[in-house]
Structure 1
Amino acid sequence: MKLTSEDLHDLAVGAAFLGTGGGGNPYVGRLMVQRCLDEGLTVDLIDPTDVPDEALVIPTAMMGAPTVLIEKLPSGEEAITSFRQLEKHLGRKAFATMPIEIGGINSTIPLVVGARLGIPIVDADGMGRAFPELQMETFGVYGVSGSPMYVTDEDNDSTLLMATDNKSMEWLSRMVAIRMGGCAYIAEYSMSGADVKRTAVPNTMTLAMRIGRCLREAKASHQSPFDALLNLMPQTLYNHARIIFTGKLVDVQRETRNGFSIGRARIDGLGPWVGTMEIEIQNENLIARVNGEVRAIVPDLICIMDSESAEPITTEQLRYGQRVTVVAVAVPAIMRTPEALDVFGPRCFGLDHPFTPIETMA
Structure 2
Amino acid sequence: MRYLTEESIDKIAVGAAVLGTGGGGDPYIGKLVAKQAIKKYGPVKLISVDELKEDDLVVPVSGMGAPTITIEKLLSEIELTAPLEKMEELIGKKVDVIIPIEIGGINSLMPIAVAAKKGLPIVDADSMGRAFPEAQMVTFYLAGYESSPVTMADEKGNTAVLYPKDGIWAERMARCLTIEMGGSSSVTDYHLTGAQVKKACVKDTLTIAEKIGEILMKNKSNAKFGIDKMLEELKGYRLFEGKIVDIKRGLSGGFTRGHAFFKGINDYEGDYSILFQNEHLIAKKGDEPLCITPDLIAVLDLETGLPITTERMKYGSRVVVVAFPCNEQWRTEKGIETVGPRYFGYDVDYIPVEEIQKKLGGK
Q: TM-score, normalized by length of structure 2?
A: 0.96
> Amino acid of the residue matched to residue 132 of structure 1?
P
Which deviations, in whole Å up to 9, do the C-alpha atoms of 1:281-308 show, x marking residues without a partner? Answer: 1000010111110000000001001000
Q: CA deviation at 1:230?
A: 1.5
Structure 1 residue 335: Cα displacement: 2.1
The change in CA–CA distance for 1:358 and 1:9 in structure 2 (over 3 A counts) is: same
C-alpha distance in structure 1 between counterparts of 2:267 and 2:260, whole Å: 20
Correspondence list, 1:104-115, <5 A:
104-115=105-116
State which drifts further: 27-36 or 168-177. 27-36
After TM superposition, the structure 1 stretch with the greater mean CA deviation from structure 2, 57-66 or 69-78, is: 69-78
Give the conservation status (yes or no) of the 8 Å contact 1:76–1:112.
no
Correspondence list, 1:77-156, <5 A:
77-156=78-157
Percent identical: 41
Counterpart of 2:283? 288
Please point out which of 234, 243, 251 is paired with 2:246. Answer: 251
More deviation, 259-268/30-39: 30-39
Structure 1 letter corresponding to 2:163 = M
Alignment: residue pair count:
356
Query: Relative to 1, partners in 2 of residues 1:44 and 1:269: Cα closer, same or farther, differing over 3 Å?
Result: same
Give yes or no for contact 2:221–2:304 (8 Å, CA) kept in 1.
no
Distance 1:43 1:72 in 2: 25
Question: Matched residue of 2:305: which SS?
Answer: coil
The TM-score, its normalising length taken from structure 1, stands at 0.96
The answer to whether structure 1 residue 320 and structure 2 residue 320 are counterparts is no
Matched, 1:353 2:354: no
Structure 2 gaps of 5+ residues are none
Structure 1 residues 76, 336: CA separation in 2 closer, same or farther (over 3 Å shift)? farther
CA 1:60–1:143 in 2, change beyond 3 Å: closer, same or farther?
same
CA distance in 2, matches of 1:215, 1:231: 13
What CA distance in whole angstroms lies between the structure 2 residues aligned with 1:27 and 1:221? 22
- Report which stretch shifted further, 42-51 or 11-20: 42-51
Question: 1:48: how far off?
Answer: 1.2
Question: What's the offset of the Cα at 1:344?
Answer: 1.2
Opposite residue 313 of structure 1, the aligned amino acid is I
Alpha-carbon distance change, 277 to 176 in structure 1, aligned in 2, over 3 angstroms: same
Deviation at 1:223, TM superposition (A): 6.8
Q: Is the 8 A contact 1:218 1:228 kept in 2?
A: no
Match of 1:335 in 2: 330
Cα distance between partner residues in 1 of 2:224 and 2:170? 46
Structure 1 residues 141-290: aligned runs within 5 Å = 141-219=142-220, 224-233=225-234, 240-290=235-285
SS of 1:105 mapped into structure 2: coil
Shift of 1:76: 3.3
The ranges of structure 1 where at least 4 consecutive aligned residues each deviate by more than 6 angstroms after the TM superposition are: 220-223
Quote the residue 1:9 is aligned against.
10
Give the structure 2 partner of residue 57 of structure 1.
58
Segment drifting more, 178-187 vs 42-51: 42-51
Aligned-pair distance for 1:333?
1.4
